[in-house]
Amino acid sequence: MDTPEKYQIATPISKYEDSPVFNYINSLSPIKPVKSIPTDQTFSSLSFASPSSVFTSPHINPQRESRFLRRHQFTDPSKPEFSRRDNDENTSEGVLDAVHQLDYLDPGRSDVGITIDPSNKDPKSDSGLPQSLKYDCTSPEDNRIPNDEIETETVPEVAGRPASHVHFVQGVSKERRQSFEIETELRGICQIGESEEAAGCDWGKLISDDTDPLIFDSSISKAHSEVQNHKTVDPGTYSFIATVLQLPHDEIDDLQKSQSIGSVDSYEQCETEETVTKSRDVGEIKETDQTPAVPSSTLLDKLVVSDSRAEVDDKKGKKCMQSSCKQLSIRRRCLLYEMTGAHKKKLVYNSDSGSSASSQSDGKGSSDEKQFMPFKPGNIHSSSMLPGIGLHLNALATTAEDGNKVVKHEPLASERKPMSMSRSIPSLNSMALAQTPLNKSLTPNLLEMDLVRFDSEVQATEDASQTSDFGVSEEFNHGSPKRKRRRSEQAAENEACKRCNCKKSKCLKLYCECFAAGLYCVEPCSCQDCFNKPVHEDTVLQTRKQIESRNPLAFAPKVIRSSDYVPEFGDESNKTPASARHKRGCNCKKSSCLKKYCECFQGGVGCSISCRCEGCKNTFGRKDGTEEAELDEEETEETCDKNSLDTSSEYDVVLRGEEEHSDLVAPVTPSSEISRPLVQLPFTFGGGKPPQSSLLSVGSSSQMYTSQKFGPSGFICRLPKFEKHLEMIPEDETPEILQGDCTLAGGVKSTSPNSKRVSPPHHKIGSTRAWRSGRKLILRSIPSFPSLNPCQESSDRSPGKTQ
DNA sequence: GAGTTTGAAACT
DNA sequence: CAGTTTCAAACTC
């Protein structure tokens, strides 16, 4: 299978040799890494390295090299572009499926082909004829592995660092070349070791390194108008982003899943057909190392890059509309797919970790594929949309909507697939994020707004995903949550695809959910005289400014995490364990805060002192201080009243309580207790999984996404979960991450002229902080990433309080 | 799908 | 800041 040559090709480990992780691995691995080999070919291959590979965190790699291979396949999607370009192959995606991987390699460069050692398997490859090799490699079985390897190798070229990173990982794999088994063993070892030892410092270093490469990728991609690079990068970024968002809490498993998913997704995007096999791979692979490691900051960068890229792509006219569309779609899709992928993974894991998973994944994969297939068109649309849209997440939303529609309808129709569905939703959010960069054109405020929204949305999606994940696991495991899932799905859908029905506000007031969310109205909207469209961007922006001038937090997330609250509310937070609170508080009089009329309830948060509600019975937390646990009981009762559909609310409630708290860790206990544990998880590196846990935790979020599909309660989970995920990040890691985030945040902040906007998302993130003052710092930093401004948070909070 | 209820947003 | 109006979502039938 894995010819040593291939691995050898990946030599560029040198950088990482110094890295503690690398050393650690070496120490572990009986075989020392064969750095030498790096022939010209190898470098060439490296140059081609797909961005995705870059994202792959070396950490992850050690854990699962096998994933790598497949993951690389996933990465392929980006590569396909190259292949197409180079080859001018208009080959239908379907045709490429098996070949793609090879093609990807090929396209990059003949050199790559040489590197492709897959030839090892086939003498052809030796010839070094890239194309021939590629095709040769196309032989499904052999090809896959080699391809992956090749891909990984190729990746590096695009981004020097990334490549190096990849190499590093690859290098590790090289060491392991001699025997995958060894590698696998090493993985386990590495994971353990990392978790235990490396987790602290090493991880930080590694992570930082990874992030850097990522950044470079983005920058590079930008610098290189080259479509290929952009394309390649995008998928990775998206996947990465998605993974980041997803990653929340869980352990490596989740990460792996998410990763594999992400990769898979991207790959699928490129080639839906392949998705099936990939899905299998995904189940097995779990490779996507990239995303997990990447810090939020990197994500932001990537997002920006992706956006720019998208724009560039559009400008370029897209040598091949298909290719460009694919790329764009891929980006967007990636999120969706990742989501689905995560589900698959989870499922697989649940059922069987290993081969069994593959089988399952296959079946699901097929279904997923179907779902995915539809997305492409949607993506295309989105791609088209992107260029025009500046500000809002709308582009994302639109795309998301498209995707959602497709996904939703299909998956929804078949409840089974809701997972994919739910994920699609999150993807939307991610998309939105990605698109947000486009917003650059917009005023910084707007950007901030978008970011904020993005954060909030992301959180929501994450939350939803978490819930969904949770729900999913339950479904598969327990099977009870189906109801909840439905609800969650609905909720997620609602959230993911916001639709308004405005008649008099022209969608230029906060009455309009789309507008309030910083999104443009889209097709699904049934609004009248709508001005909330890209065409009226100026008007929208002006209106936003006006609204912001009145209320800087108008577009900020309504729900703030407890951490934020703590300072603000102080006692309240104490009373209500709920991690989050509504920014303003509600003013309910008749709904008893038990219906969506209540923003607190709708946001899945308990009422707080700031609330002026009467007869509050908010299941998430009463104004008087009743806690979630109580609420849960109440909720269950109340929600029970509702039917399955209604049960969604219950489910939501449960999820909320559970999710918010248990998101990362054990979804099991809904009680407030859960929430805290979640926080712990990151540090614990859960499940004996490596320090990656932080990343993993992020990855876990992916699960969340999956859950979202099922679950509905997007609203509930949204904020809290996301925050949780962030929180989950180990403190040790966090510093680095934070730095990255901070940088990002700083960048974002800088972009946003107005400190006014405190992106509420921060609060969300910070919610856990309250629990653990020590982590507050981390949380802050983290939140900044999504929201834009950790700093703003403080400012935001104050303004929020003002309300 | 139409109508009602509800509470946030907007206005005064 | 309080009160009123407007608005659209949430909900009910």
Q: What is the pLDDT of residues A353-373, one digit of tens each?
A: 333 333 333 333 333 333 333
Cβ contact A619 with chain C strand, < 7 A: no
Distance A167 CA to B6 C1' (A): 59
Whole-number pLDDT of residue A625: 67
- Position A524 scores a pLDDT of 78
The answer to whether A429 CB is within 7 Å of strand C is no
| Highest-scoring range by mean pLDDT, A286-290, A632-636, A676-680, A764-768 | A632-636
Decide which of A636 and A596 is more confident. A596
- Segment A205-221 shows an average pLDDT of 38
Q: Which nucleotide is closest, CA of A495 to its C1'?
A: C9
Q: pLDDT digits over A765-798, tens only?
A: 333 333 333 333 333 333 333 333 333 333 333 3
pLDDT tens digits, residue range A682-726?
A: 323 333 333 333 333 333 333 333 333 333 333 333 333 333 333
Tens-place pLDDT, residues A46-80: 333 333 333 333 333 333 333 333 333 333 333 33
The pLDDT tens digits for A214-268 are 333 333 333 343 333 433 333 333 333 333 333 334 333 443 444 443 333 333 3
- State the pLDDT confidence band at A626, using cuts at 50, 70 and 90: low
What are phi and psi for residue A561, nearest 5 degrees?
A: -70, 160
> In this prediction, what percent of chain A has a pLDDT beyond 70?
13
CB A103 within 8 A of CB A86: no
Protein CB footprint (7 Å) on chain B nucleotides: 5-10
Q: Is A7 exposed, middle or buried (0-12, 13-18, 19+ CB in 10 A)?
A: buried
Task: Give the integer Cα–Cα distance in Å for A429 and A556.
Answer: 16
> Residue A591 CA to B4 C1' — how many Å?
14
Give residue A562's pLDDT.
55
pLDDT category at A414 given cuts 50, 70, 90 is very low
> Which nucleotide across the nucleic acid strands is nearest to A602, CA versus C1'?
C10
pLDDT digits (tens, 9 = 90+) for A118-139: 334 443 433 343 333 333 333 3
Taking the stretch 524-553 of protein chain A, residues with Cβ within 7 Å of any atom in nucleic acid chain C are: 527
A801 touches strand C (CB under 7 A): no
Distance from residue A567's CA to nucleotide C9's C1', rounded to whole Å? 32
Please, what sign has the CA dihedral across residues A328, A329, A334, A339?
positive
Res A529 pLDDT > 60: yes
Q: From the alpha carbon of A527, which nucleotide's C1' atom is closest?
A: C8
Which nucleotide lies nearest residue A591, CA to C1'?
Answer: B6
Sign (positive/negative) of CA torsion A192, A193, A197, A202? Answer: negative
Taking phi first (over 0 means left), then psi (-120 to 50 degrees means alpha), and beta for anything else, what does residue A689 get? Answer: beta
- Residue A643 falls in which region: left (phi positive, over 0), alpha (psi -120 to 50) or beta: beta
Q: Which residue type is seen at A630?
A: E
Chain C nucleotides with an atom closer than 7 Å to a protein C-beta: 6-11
Closest C-alpha to A763, from A569, A616, A574: A569
pLDDT of the residue at A221: 37
CA A591 to C1' B1, in angstroms, rounded, equals: 24
Interatomic distance A758 CA / C8 C1' (Å): 26
Predicted pLDDT at A649: 38
Span CA (A615) to C1' (C2), Å: 22
How many Cβ atoms are within 10 Å of A453's Cβ, its own excluded? 33
For residue A606, pLDDT beyond 80? yes
Q: How far apart are CA A160 and CA A441, in angstroms?
A: 29
What DSSP assignment string belongs to A668-724? S--SHHHHHHHHHHHHHTTTT--TTHHHHHHHHHHHHHHHHHH---HHHHHHHHHHH
Is the pLDDT score of A647 beyond 80? no
Q: What is the mean pLDDT of residues A300-314?
A: 38
Q: Which 3-state string (H, E, C) describes A149-215?
A: HHHHHHHHHCCHHHHHHHHHHHHHHHHHHCCHHHHHHHHHHHHHHHHHHHCCHHHHHHHHHHHHHHH
For residue A542, pLDDT beyond 60: yes
